[in-house]
Amino acid sequence: MASEEIEVNVLTLNCWGLGGGISKDRVERMQREYLAAQDYDIVLLQEVWKRSDFETIRSLVASVLPYHHFFDNGIIGTGTCIFSKTRINDVTFHHFGLNGYPHRITHGDWFGVFLTAQDIYIGHRVVHGVESAQWIKLSSSSADLTLYAGDFNNEPKDVPYQIVKYVTPLLDAWVEGNGNEGGETNETPGNSYTPRSALRDSPDGKRIDYILYMPGPNIDAETVSCVLPLPSRVPGKSFSYSDHEAVAAKLLIRRRKQARYLETSIRDYVRCNSILKELDTKREVVKKAKDILHTSIRNVDISDFADFIFRHYV
C-alpha cells in the first residue's frame, strides 16, 4: 500500500444472464447504468454468459472502471468477469476437479461451471470448498488484501461455506458489519423474479452471495459497512436488476505500525486464544465435510453413468 490507510469499495452481483430467453429482461437489465454512477474500486460479476452483455457493461463503466477481464474459459465460458478502478496486473483461472455429472446433460454443470445447489451435488460442493480454501491459502500469502466474493450457492449454515471461511480463514463482510442476521440475496420477497413458492420455506430469502476477505502480513482490515445496495426495481421499470441482490462492502485496510513490546504481547495473547477457538471450529467443520464425502461416494449411481456411456458411445 502506498499510504498507511485506505478504503476499498467492492461490489459483487450474480447478473442472471442466461441466453435463449431463460433469463427474463436480460438485455434491458444489462443496459442499466447503475455501476457507472457509483464509486466502486472492484466489481465482481457472475452469470454474464453472453460476450455481448460483457461488452455492454464494459462500455457503460469504462469511465469509472477502466480495467477489466472476462473469464472466457471452458466450453461455454464461466460467466464471470471483473472490473477495476486500478490496473489488473495478472489473472488466472482455477478449474474445479468436480463439476457435476457428464450424463446429466440438462444440468449443464459438467460443461460450464458448478452452479446448482441440488443435494446430489453436495459432495461436489464440499470439494469445491476445500479446493477454494487451498487455492486461497497458496495464492494469497503475500497479498495486502485477499477478496473472495460472489454467488456461492450455499448458506452460512452449509459446510461448503464453512470450509472456505474457517479453513482459510476469511472474514465475512456482512457478519463483520451487521451481525449474523439479514443479508438475504436470493429469492427475496422484494425481488420481482422471486416465485411465491420459494417464500414458503424461506420467507426472507437466502443469503448465498458474499464478500469474504483476509488481510495480509502486517495488515489490519475491517468492515466499515456492508449493504445490499440495489433498489428493488430498476428505476422506471417493473423488474429488478437480477434474481439476486448485489452485495457491496467498504473495507478499511491499514498497515500496522511498529508496536511496543507490551502491545505486541497483548495482541499475541488475544490472537492465540482466537486461533485455539478457530482450530476447534475448523476440526468440527472438516469432520462434517469428511462425513458428507464418504456418504456421497457411497451414493454415486455408477450404473446410471455406465448406461449413459453405453447408449451414447458404444
What is the structure's pLDDT at 130? 73
User: For 32-46, 84-98, 168-182, 277-291, which range has the lowest pLDDT when averaged over its residues?
Assistant: 277-291
Q: What is the pLDDT of residues 236-246, one digit of tens each?
A: 999 999 999 99
Q: Do residues 248 and 20 make contact, with C-beta atoms less than 8 angstroms apart? A: no
Closest to 42 measured CA to CA, from 88, 1, 11, 6: 11
Within 10 A of 53 (CB to CB), how many other CB atoms are there? 23
C-alpha–C-alpha distance, residues 237 and 235, integer Å: 6
pLDDT tens digit sequence for 207-234: 999 999 999 988 999 999 999 999 999 9
State the pLDDT at residue 103.
39
Name the more confident of 52 and 260: 52
- Predicted confidence at residue 115, as pLDDT, reads 36
Q: How confident is the model at residue 83 (pLDDT cuts 50, 70, 90)?
A: very high
Helices assigned H by DSSP within the chain: 26-30, 51-61, 122-139, 159-167, 173-178, 261-299, 302-313
Q: Which residue of the set 94, 103, 244, 312 is catalytic?
A: 244
Supply the pLDDT for residue 313: 40
Distance of alpha carbon 40 from alpha carbon 5, whole angstroms: 17
Reply yes or no on whether the pLDDT at 14 is more than 70: yes
Q: What is the CA radius of gyration of the chain?
A: 21
pLDDT higher than 80, residue 2:
no
Among 53-62, 79-88, 159-168, the range scoring the smallest mean pLDDT is: 159-168
Model confidence pLDDT, tens digit, residues 254-307: 998 766 555 555 455 445 445 446 667 777 787 777 777 777 677 665 445 444
Q: Which pLDDT does position 26 carry in this prediction? A: 96
Higher-confidence residue: 269 or 29?
29
Residue with cell 427474463: 24
Separation of alpha carbons 91 and 140, rounded Å: 13
CB atoms within 10 A of CB 126: 24
Q: Is the pLDDT of residue 139 over 60?
A: yes
| Average confidence score pLDDT of the chain | 82
- pLDDT, tens digit, 9 for 90 and up, residues 153-208: 889 998 888 888 888 889 999 999 999 999 999 999 999 999 999 999 999 999 99
The verdict on whether 244 is a catalytic residue reads yes
For residue 9, pLDDT beyond 90: yes
* Position 11 pLDDT exceeds 80: yes
Q: Which of 62-66, 137-141, 276-280, 288-292 has the lowest mean pLDDT?
A: 276-280
- State phi, psi for 255 to the nearest 5 degrees: -85, 135
pLDDT at 165: 87
Mean pLDDT of the 19-43 span: 95
Name the burial class of residue 7, with classes exposed (0-12), middle (13-18) and buried (19+) by CB atoms within 10 angstroms of its CB: exposed
Q: Which CATH number fits domain 5-257: 1.20.1250.20, 3.40.1350.10, 3.40.718.10, 3.60.10.10?
A: 3.60.10.10
The whole-number average pLDDT for the span 32-58 is 96
Task: For the beta carbon of residue 204, count every other beta carbon within 10 angstroms.
Answer: 14
